[in-house]
């Protein structure tokens, strides 16, 4: 906590009375009260601590795939945001893509572009296109500001209308951040709401297509994820996700637009 407090400084954080953000890819609006630069600073601290407690794999074919696929999707996002004059939205992102030796079927991206993929998910991704489904989805959580949205929801729940047009202390903000993004290995348990998961599905489908990966491989990947469930307990990666039938229907709804992006990237239909 002390390290995060130092990052935030001794001043309080201020929030605007109205802080509604619209996703330029999906058009969904969400309440985002927190300061993205402060969130990114805290996320970097948590990410560093998580990596220090993990076995980071480097130099292998799988580790290079995580890097390469992640960079392609990141570059596609940069190009899209630049094309619509919203490149400033990505100014605070400092991307990192790391493969962690862990049997959990999981992956995540923290605010500011700090990405981790666990080796446990690789048998399900199977190839770079499957990995692109995962990384497109996780990167979309960050780009859509879902961390800020969840932090804002927690702020409102704890402090109510008192935070609007007012301030909370750096210690209060740090405590909220650590609720949303638990430190160390527990960060793998972070959860988003179903609306956020559906938005990450849609946005991730478009981003992987812009990066030149066939979006039609998304359905088979999610089917493999469902098949990985043991008994009534799904992998953590699916713990708050939409039902399989809802996900399939949603992916099909967005597929025509995704294929347009894929065709524009040079992909063959």
CA–centroid distance for 232 within its chain? 25
The Cβ of residue 27 has, within 10 Å, a number of other Cβ atoms equal to 9
**Pairing mode, strands 20-22 and 96-100:** unpaired
* In the chain, beta strands by DSSP E: 13-14, 20-22, 29-31, 56-57, 96-100, 107-110, 114-118, 167-168
Respond yes or no: is residue 138 known to be catalytic. Answer: yes
> At what angle are helices 244-264 and 218-227 packed, to 10 degrees?
150
Instruction: Indicate which residue of 138, 149, 199, 202 is catalytic.
Output: 138
SS3 102: coil
Beta pairing, strands 96-100 & 114-118: parallel
Query: What's the rounded Cα separation, in Å, for the pair 152 and 8?
Result: 17
Dihedral pair phi/psi, residue 107, rounded to 5°: -165, 155
User: 3-state class of 179 per DSSP?
Assistant: helix
How far apart CA 45 and CA 73 sit, in angstroms, is 24
> If 0-12 CB within 10 Å is exposed, 13-18 middle and 19+ buried, where does residue 208 land?
buried
- Return the active site residues: 138
């Amino acid at each position: 906590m002390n390290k995060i407090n130092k990052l935030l400084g001794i001043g309080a954080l201020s929030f605007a009375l109205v802080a509604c953000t619209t996703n330029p890819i999906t058009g969904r609006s969400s309440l985002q009260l927190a300061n993205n630069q402060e969130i990114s600073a805290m996320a970097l601290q948590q990410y560093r601590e998580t990596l220090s407690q993990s076995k980071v794999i480097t130099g292998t074919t799988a580790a290079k795939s995580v890097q390469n696929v992640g960079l392609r999707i990141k570059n596609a996002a940069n190009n899209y945001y630049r094309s619509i004059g919203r490149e400033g939205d990505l100014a605070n992102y400092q991307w990192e893509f790391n493969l962690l030796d862990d049997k959990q079927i999981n992956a995540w991206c923290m605010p500011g572009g700090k990405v981790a993929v666990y080796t446990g998910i690789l048998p399900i991704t199977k190839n770079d296109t499957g990995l692109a489904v995962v990384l497109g989805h996780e990167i979309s959580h960050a780009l859509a500001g879902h961390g800020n949205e969840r932090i804002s929801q927690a702020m409102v729940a704890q402090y109510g209308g008192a935070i609007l047009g007012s301030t909370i202390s750096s210690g209060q903000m740090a405590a909220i951040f650590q609720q949303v993004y638990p430190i160390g290995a527990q960060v793998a348990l972070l959860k988003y709401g179903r609306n956020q998961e559906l938005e990450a599905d849609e946005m991730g489908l478009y981003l992987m297509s812009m990066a030149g990966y066939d979006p039609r491989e998304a359905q088979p990947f999610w089917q493999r994820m469902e098949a990985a469930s043991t008994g009534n307990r799904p992998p953590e990666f699916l713990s708050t996700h939409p039902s399989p039938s809802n996900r399939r229907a949603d992916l099909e709804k967005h597929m025509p637009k995704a294929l347009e992006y894929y065709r524009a990237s040079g992909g063959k239909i």
